[in-house]
């Protein structure tokens, strides 16, 4: 029997009082705080909440958690919900194997371990042994592995550690043969690539070594003037050499040693789109003692350039330069004038060239995005001719491993109903042999009990928007089922099919529907899709999402009072803007780590980098459209005595990506303007996590607790029974 339907009995629905009032904390408003933007006065009465260290802010956080916690904890299904999530989460999870030196490595999680463990194998038949277990680094799992890098000979392992979800990293080095760490630790590392010289001693990283004040993830100050440093293995960080810097304080610098080992490729970026391109010649036999001499190739922020590989001086890049769906170009670093650039793989007029990976010396593994689903092919690196098509189901290629000189590669594939499947591909002459290396089993999950489909609906301006819908087979369109609608819509991010236990729990145990809308602002259809949701076109994202809600109601998948919406980060902005603009469309809203003050976001931590998607209130034309939708500044009393949907904000004290002040100020304003209305019976609450950040590296226990609280909130707010 299926894991959900084994010994099924439906609990008798427990009726909650949805029409109830809340005694929200009394919050000080400082009406004297205001800014003037181009002649328009904008008040900011809760600016004091921007100081995370003040006693008043700490008291505010405690007061908010003290009303949220009882509401969530009183859900009668809480233990059943947590038990079901825990049970279904408890399945073995494996990454693709990756080979370095003469050994294979793989991330594994037995099921409920807080952090995945790296195992090492001498060959693929070995069971393997533990190489690095981050669970031993903290009692609560809040120290996580971030980016990692092996030296070219595979004998040294550089690994970054993040504490409490912060973007700050400390880099350590491990001797692969002995298992011992080298004595040095590199600190104040952030937004950094990691790349080794081919002498296996020199190491490049990016850092903010001159930053003063706190650097633990709880600060709100911006990190500026990143520099690239050269570190020699076995020496103290104080001896590291500053090798690359730029005058612009907002630039972050990608630095990658070429496959041949004689170039350092530099891709400076100022925002979240469009790179510069420089290179420096390096000699792996010489120690670097001073700044590198840079050669500029691209000096204007106009396009993306993603290094793939090089053959001697000919370098191959994935780019959207004159190609909104991306292409692969060749630049000869001995003759790098743009007029001399060549194209290896032309832009596809319909499908987005999503990724390229070199393998077997002369082969390019290229993935495309076709209507939000991956296809994968092999091309000849010399001629650009297609050599092979992989036969993929509807879903996503999640990761690919293998180096240029390897004659094998691994890739993982998943879909909404198919957990991670790992394939091994072997190359022998002209032969390409593909086998299943590992299939993930999730309890007794029976995927045949569910349906997944993709629909296209019309947005406000007539644009066709794709949306995936998951439901039980035999589902009847009568508008009676709850629905959870998810969206993001920004920063060229693609939301492709992926496996999630929590989605299936919502579909099965709440007898619901899950919908994922691929709205504009993402990269699902290349630059045109991204640009359709940037700058003054951001309203398209909100229109697309609201149109998704209307479609689901009109087609009788659900009803407005049973429709929950969810989004995080930029998706949190999406959710908050939509409940401001059309509160009547939704029954509940889950707004996670959202960007909610669009007039001041750029003043905190990495916020300045988002100006390439949002614009900036310091510019008059951009201020005017930001002010129109900024969630903090557009909370309005609904018409016709309506009310806001039940709303839960989530943030965390070490989120140094989207700092908590966004959520704190928004909930304060929301409770002041909306929570005090006599007709507002739906709760507007916030959950503030400790020792957690934006999401990356979050331990399993915290993930399960958060999912439990979200489902409990939805269950209580919408009076939804949970069947065990």
Domains of the chain: 34-87+446-718 (3.40.50.1820), 142-274+283-303 (2.130.10.120)
**What does the pLDDT read at residue 3?**
26
- Active-site residue identified among 569, 630, 663, 715: 569
Q: What pLDDT, in 10s, does the model give residues 71-122? A: 999 999 999 999 999 999 999 999 999 999 999 999 999 999 999 999 999 9
Closest to 419 (Cα-Cα) out of 104, 105, 707, 91: 91
Catalytic member of 415, 663, 694, 709: 694
Rounded percentage of the chain residues whose pLDDT exceeds 70: 97
For the cut 50, the answer to whether the pLDDT of residue 34 exceeds it is: yes
Is position 694 annotated as part of the catalytic site?
Answer: yes
Per-residue pLDDT at 214: 87
Nearest to 533 by CA among 585, 460, 635, 609: 460
Average pLDDT over residues 349-355: 98
Instruction: For the chain, give the mean pLDDT.
Output: 95
Contact 559, 465 (CB under 8 A): no
Q: With helix as H, strand as E and coil as C, how does 309-337 read?
A: EEECCEEEEEECCCCCCCEEEEEECCECC
Phi-psi domain of 714 (left: phi exceeds 0; alpha: psi -120 through 50; beta: other): alpha
What mean pLDDT is predicted for residues 145-173? 97
pLDDT at 444: 78
Question: Do the bridges between strand 275-281 and strand 241-244 make them parallel or antiparallel, or are there none, so unpaired?
Answer: unpaired
569 is catalytic: yes
CA separation for the pair 585, 295 (Å, rounded): 55
CA distance 160 to 207: 12
CA distance 358 to 194: 19
- Return the structure tokens found at 42: 């904008």
Please give the pLDDT value at position 13.
36
User: Quick one: the chain helix, strand, coil %, rounded to 5?
Assistant: 20, 35, 45
Mean pLDDT of 196-207: 98
The model's pLDDT over 117-136, given as tens digits with 9 standing for 90+, comes to 999 999 999 999 999 999 99
Q: 6 pLDDT exceeds 70?
A: no
For residue 10, the model assigns a pLDDT of 27
pLDDT per residue as tens digits for the range 260-304: 999 999 999 999 999 999 999 999 999 999 999 999 999 999 999
User: What was the pLDDT predicted at 170?
Assistant: 98
The 10s digit of each residue's pLDDT in 369-404 is: 999 999 999 999 999 999 999 999 999 999 999 999
pLDDT of 17 higher than 70: no
pLDDT of residue 333: 98
pLDDT tens per residue, range 645-683: 999 999 999 999 999 999 999 999 999 999 999 999 999
- Axis-axis angle for helices 620-629, 570-581 (nearest 10): 70
> Looking at residue 110, what DSSP letter applies?
-
pLDDT at residue 724 in the model: 82
pLDDT score at 20? 61
pLDDT recorded at residue 9: 25
150 in Cβ contact with 173 (< 8 Å)? no
672 is catalytic: no
For 215-341, list the strands marked E by DSSP. Answer: 227-232, 241-244, 252-257, 263-269, 275-281, 295-303, 305-311, 314-319, 327-332
- Residue 16's pLDDT band (boundaries 50, 70, 90)? very low
pLDDT, tens digit, 9 for 90 and up, residues 494-504: 999 999 999 99
CA distance 391 to 205: 38
Inform me whether the pLDDT recorded for 217 exceeds 60.
Answer: yes
Q: How confident is the model at residue 376, as a pLDDT?
A: 98
Question: Would the pLDDT of 557 be above 70?
Answer: yes
Model pTM?
0.96
Tell me which of 655, 663, 709, 715 is the catalytic residue: 655
User: How do 314-319 and 327-332 pair as beta strands?
Assistant: antiparallel
**Residue 445 pLDDT class (50, 70, 90 cuts):** confident
Confidence of residue 691 (pLDDT cuts 50, 70, 90): confident
């Amino acid at each position: 029997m299926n894991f959900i339907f084994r010994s099924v009995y439906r609990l008798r629905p427990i009726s909650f009082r949805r029409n109830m009032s809340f005694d929200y904390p009394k919050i000080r408003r400082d009406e004297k705080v205001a800014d003037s933007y181009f002649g328009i006065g904008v008040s900011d009465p809760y600016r004091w909440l921007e100081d995370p260290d003040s006693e008043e802010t700490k008291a505010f956080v405690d007061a908010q958690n003290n009303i949220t916690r009882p509401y969530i904890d009183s859900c009668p299904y809480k233990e059943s919900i947590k038990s079901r999530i825990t049970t279904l989460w408890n399945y073995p999870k494996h990454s693709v194997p990756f080979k370095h030196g003469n050994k294979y490595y793989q991330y594994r999680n037995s099921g409920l371990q807080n952090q995945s463990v790296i195992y090492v194998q001498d060959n693929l038949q070995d069971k393997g042994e533990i190489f690095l277990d981050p669970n031993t680094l903290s009692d609560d799992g809040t120290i996580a592995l971030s980016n990692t890098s092996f030296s070219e000979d595979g004998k040294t392992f550089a690994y970054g550690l993040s504490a409490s979800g912060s973007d700050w990293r400390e880099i350590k080095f491990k001797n692969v043969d002995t298992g011992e760490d080298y004595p040095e630790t590199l600190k104040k590392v952030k937004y950094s690539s990691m790349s080794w010289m081919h002498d296996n001693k020199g190491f490049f990283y990016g850092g903010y070594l001159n930053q003063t004040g706190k650097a633990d993830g709880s600060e709100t100050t911006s990190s500026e003037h990143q520099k690239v440093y050269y570190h020699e293995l076995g020496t103290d960080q104080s001896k590291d050499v500053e090798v690359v810097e730029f005058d612009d304080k907002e630039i972050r610098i990608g630095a990658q040693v070429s496959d041949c080992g004689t170039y350092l490729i530099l891709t400076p970026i100022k925002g979240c789109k469009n790179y510069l391109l420089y290179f420096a010649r390096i000699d792996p036999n010489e120690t670097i003692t001073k700044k590198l001499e840079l050669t500029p190739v691209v000096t204007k922020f106009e396009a993306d350039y993603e290094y793939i590989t090089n053959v001697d001086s000919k370098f191959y890049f994935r780019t959207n330069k004159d190609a909104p769906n991306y292409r692969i170009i060749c630049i000869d670093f001995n003759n790098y004038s743009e007029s001399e650039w060549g194209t290896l793989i032309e832009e596809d007029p319909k499908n987005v060239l999503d990724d390229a990976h070199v393998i077997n010396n002369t082969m390019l593994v290229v993935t495309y995005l076709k209507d939000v689903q991956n296809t994968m092919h092999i091309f000849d690196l010399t001629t650009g001719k297609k050599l092979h098509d992989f036969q993929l189901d509807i879903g996503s290629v999640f990761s690919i491993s293998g180096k240029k000189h390897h004659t094998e590669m691994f890739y993982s594939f998943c879909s909404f109903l198919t957990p991670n499947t790992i394939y091994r591909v072997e190359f022998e002459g002209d032969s390409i042999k593909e086998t299943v290396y590992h299939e993930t089993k999730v309890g007794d999950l029976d995927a045949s009990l569910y349906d997944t489909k993709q629909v296209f609906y019309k947005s406000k301006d007539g644009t066709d928007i794709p949306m995936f819908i998951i439901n039980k087979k035999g589902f009847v369109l009568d508008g009676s089922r709850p629905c959870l609608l998810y969206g993001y819509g920004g920063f060229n991010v693609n939301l492709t099919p992926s496996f999630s236990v929590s989605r299936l729990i919502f579909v099965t145990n709440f007898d619901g529907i899950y919908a994922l809308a691929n709205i504009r602002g993402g990269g699902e259809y290349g630059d045109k899709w991204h640009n359709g949701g940037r700058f003054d076109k951001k309203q398209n994202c909100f229109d697309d999402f609201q149109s998704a809600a209307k479609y689901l109601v009109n087609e009788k998948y659900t009803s407005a009072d049973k429709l929950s919406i969810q989004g995080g980060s930029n998706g949190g902005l999406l959710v908050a803007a939509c409940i401001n603009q059309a509160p009547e469309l939704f029954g509940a809203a889950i707004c996670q780590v959202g960007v909610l003050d669009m007039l001041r976001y750029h003043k905190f931590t990495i916020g300045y980098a988002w100006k390439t998607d949002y614009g900036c209130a310091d510019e008059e034309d951009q201020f005017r459209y930001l002010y129109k939708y900024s969630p903090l500044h557009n909370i309005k009393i609904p018409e016709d005595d309506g009310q806001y949907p039940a709303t839960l904000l989530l943030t965390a004290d070490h989120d140094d990506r989207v700092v908590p002040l966004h959520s704190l100020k928004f909930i304060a304003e929301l409770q002041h303007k909306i929570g005090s209305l006599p007709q507002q019976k739906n709760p507007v609450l916030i959950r503030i996590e400790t020792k957690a950040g934006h999401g990356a590296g979050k331990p399993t226990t915290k993930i399960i607790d958060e999912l439990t609280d979200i489902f409990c909130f939805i269950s209580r707010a919408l009076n939804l029974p949970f069947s065990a």
